[in-house]
Amino acid sequence: MDLNVVILAAGKGTRMKSRLPKVLQPLAKKSLLSHVLDTSFRLDASRVIVVYGHGGEQVRDVVASQFPGKPIEWVEQREQLGTGHAVKQAIPQLQEGSRTLVLYGDVPLISDATLNRFLNTVNLGQAGVLTVKLDNPKGYGRIIRDHSGAIREIVEEKDAGDEIRKIQEVNTGIMLADTLDLLAWLPQIGNDNAQGEYYLTDLVKIANDHDVPVLGCLVDNPIEVEGVNDKRQLARLERMYQRHLADELMTAGATLIDPDRIDIRGSLQVGQDCCIDINCVFEGQVTLGNNVEIGPNCVIINSTIADNAVVKANSILENATVGIDCEVGPFARLRPGTVLREQAKVGNFVETKNIVLGKDSKANHLTYLGDAQIGEKVNIGAGTITCNYDGVNKHKTVIGDGAFIGSNSSLVAPVEIGAGATIGAGSTITKPAKENALTVARGKQVTLEGWQRPTKKQ
């Protein structure tokens, strides 16, 4: 049966003390709402409906940029009158002959695995509530089950007696029902309470009044249903999430020098026997092969690092491809379009962009290489620069196999260095350098006898 997913994302988030709407606050460098949308699409929902309110235009613009072409329907909740009122706003968008799942834009870590288990637990003709057991359930609505295990009632703490407050199973707010039932029940939710709001939890009583069983499905990991209301909770959830990802990496066989000092802001895939030192950040899609070593304080973004490669301390890689047995850093920066072939080396304070560095070639220190095709077994001396930008356009440098570029050389593109060529240190090369020949391009050295250094004026 088709599935509607309704995501409640209208809260202002006053306690965030931020101009950014609450659902756009970042967790692992992705908005809270984006986490929930990603999960919703993995459920193969026929319709995903976001109920928005505060900062609505900003929320829509950000989501549209992050999910281009995705079929997201938007419904505005102009007045925030409770969760039941929020879901009511989505009634015109709900597809009949389906089921409807209610999620929350500020509960970002609910997994598709848990939700699929929830969907499989609750059958047609039933309703469901996702629940969680907490060591300290203070502040949460308690779950009251009958002798069969079905949920009879959700009692808010302020209305609970001492015995009910001892119950550790609580409501997460995530609910599931047949859409036709939901359409019939939503208008029956009242606001006769201290807050004057329409609560979605009233559906439990309404369902029972209509002899529709309400099943509870327990969440295995409480982190999945943690909500976020302020920056302290956001930071706490970030650390819990990062530790969860670190545990998954170690389960996959990675060695983490300190599991509490790693940040994954995207997807990190690891091979066997990888070792990751402290304070490393991985963003976007990153893949590490077998026996890869990542030194401390590295930032790696949307990059692939092949078997046996070593990335030394304080290096930054972005949209780069590092081949087998390569060595990078320390303090290296590989910018987008960098490809290192097998056994290549890029050392300290070397910056690259849009280059191919051939097999067994090396640029060990203090060098900028941009827009270059560099062959095999090339040595790039310290201080070498490919002068690839003329102020308007970029130009390419081609260096043949086995070339030797002396220190402090400037290669003014477009230019070609032949295979086996040697460039004398301190040269500025503006014309093709012949293969297997020495090319030197320096100004004439002059010595002035009796020259006096300038002195500071009194």
In angstroms, the CA 399 to CA 372 distance is 8
In angstroms, the CA 53 to CA 21 distance is 9
As given in the structure block, the two tokens for residue 148 are 């069969």
* Residues 6 or more apart in contact with residue 309 via CB below 8 angstroms: 289, 292, 293, 322, 323, 324, 325, 326, 327, 328
> Which entry of 35, 85, 147, 365 is annotated as an active-site residue?
365
> Which residues are paired to 5 by β-bridges?
48, 101
Of 226, 124, 222, residue with least CA distance to 181: 124
The question of whether 365 is a catalytic residue gets the answer yes
Helix (H) or strand (E) holding 63: helix 56-66
* Residues 6 or more apart in contact with residue 271 via CB below 8 angstroms: 288, 289, 290, 291, 292, 307
DSSP 371-413: EEEE-TT-EE-TT-EEE-B-SS-B--EEE-TT-EE-TT-EEES
User: In the block, which residue shows the tokens 């402090």?
Assistant: 408
Residues labelled catalytic:
365
